[in-house]
């Protein structure tokens, strides 16, 4: 009987020692987590900005392709229009007509004026065209005819510049060629090729 009681006391005291962590262990663990999070935050922020810009550029390219498809399908000219109330206001881009597909770009990635985009001359060289007609973020349009080509006299290469109004860290360019094909370019910056085609 005594032997059982003694072994019960030993196992009970062992259980109490193994439960939980000390305050010092908790503080050290939290400090390590905070230091690693602090080091990772700039990378996470840059990745998020890049994702937002890519998403906005792909949405613009998508609605342009949809407009072209609708013009061909309906065998009639159709416009893709855009408007923006102010520099930090959301941009609305929509398809003219009964389909009325619309996208809204927020301030984290929206249409920007060509004057804030760096190295637009390098973009001309990269695309291989003599000039680009920048779309005004305030109010503008691109019209496709029933063959899917851009309606413009003289023929023009249109560009939608997508950027972040609060941060000039990155830009995207959505190019619409006279044939109606759409390309997306990214501004890499730094030495070497400044603009690179991503789709």
Q: Phi and psi of 34, rounded to 5°?
A: -65, -40
pLDDT at 43: 83
Task: Output b/e per residue, 102-140; b: 16+ Cβ within 10 A.
Answer: ebebeebbbbbebeebeebeebbebbeeeebebbebeeb
Output 87 or 100, whichever has higher pLDDT: 100
Taking the C-alpha atoms of residue 173 and residue 184, their distance in angstroms, rounded to an integer, is 6
Task: Using the predicted structure, report yes or no on whether residue 144 has a pLDDT greater than 70.
Answer: yes
User: Among candidates 75, 70, 77, 61, which has minimal Cα distance to 143?
Assistant: 77
- Unique residue bearing structure tokens 């990635």: 109
User: In this predicted structure, what is the pLDDT of residue 48?
Assistant: 85
Q: 188 pLDDT exceeds 80?
A: no
- For tokens 């804030």, name the residue: 116
Q: Is the pLDDT of residue 80 over 80?
A: yes
8 A C-beta contact, residue 136 and residue 151: no
pLDDT confidence tier of residue 133, bands split at 50, 70 and 90: very high
pTM of the model: 0.80
Residues facing residue 192 across a β-bridge: none
Percent of the chain predicted with pLDDT > 90: 50
| pLDDT of 45 | 81
Q: What is the mean pLDDT of the chain?
A: 86
Cα 48 from Cα 23, distance rounded (Å): 35
Q: Do residues 187 and 175 make contact, with C-beta atoms less than 8 angstroms apart?
A: no
Q: Within 10 Å of residue 85's Cβ, how many Cβ atoms?
A: 11
More confident residue, 154 or 65: 65
CA 38 to CA 102: how far, in whole Å? 39
All domains of the chain, ordered by start, with CATH? 22-197 (3.55.40.10)
- Asked if the model's pLDDT at residue 3 lies above 90, the reply is no
pLDDT at 135: 95
The predicted pLDDT at position 39 comes to 86
pLDDT for 176: 97
Among 87, 64, 50, which Cα is nearest to 196's? 50
Q: Where is average pLDDT lowest: 33-42, 67-76, 117-126, 188-197?
A: 188-197
Asked if the model's pLDDT at residue 4 lies above 90, the reply is no
The rounded distance, in Å, linking the Cα atoms of 184 and 129 is 15
| Residue 37 pLDDT > 70 | yes
Helix/strand/coil for 10: helix
């Amino acid at each position: 009987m005594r032997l059982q009681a003694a072994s019960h006391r030993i196992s009970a005291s062992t259980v109490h020692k193994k439960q939980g962590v000390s305050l010092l262990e908790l503080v050290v663990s939290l400090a390590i987590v905070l230091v690693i999070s602090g080091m990772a935050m700039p990378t996470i922020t840059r990745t998020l900005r890049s994702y937002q810009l890519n998403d906005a550029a792909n949405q613009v390219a998508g609605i342009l392709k949809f407009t072209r498809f609708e013009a061909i399908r309906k065998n009639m000219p159709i416009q893709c229009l855009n408007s923006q109330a102010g520099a930090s206001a959301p941009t609305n881009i929509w398809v003219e007509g009964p389909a009325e597909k619309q996208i809204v770009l927020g301030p984290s990635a929206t249409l920007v004026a060509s004057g804030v985009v760096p190295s637009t001359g390098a973009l001309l060289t990269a695309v291989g065209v003599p000039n680009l007609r920048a779309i005004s973020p305030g109010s503008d349009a691109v019209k496709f005819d029933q063959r899917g080509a851009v309606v413009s006299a003289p023929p023009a290469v249109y560009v939608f510049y997508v950027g972040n109004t609060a941060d000039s860290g990155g830009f995207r360019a959505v190019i619409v060629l006279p044939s109606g094909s759409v390309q997306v370019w990214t501004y890499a910056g730094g030495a070497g090729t400044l603009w690179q085609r991503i789709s």
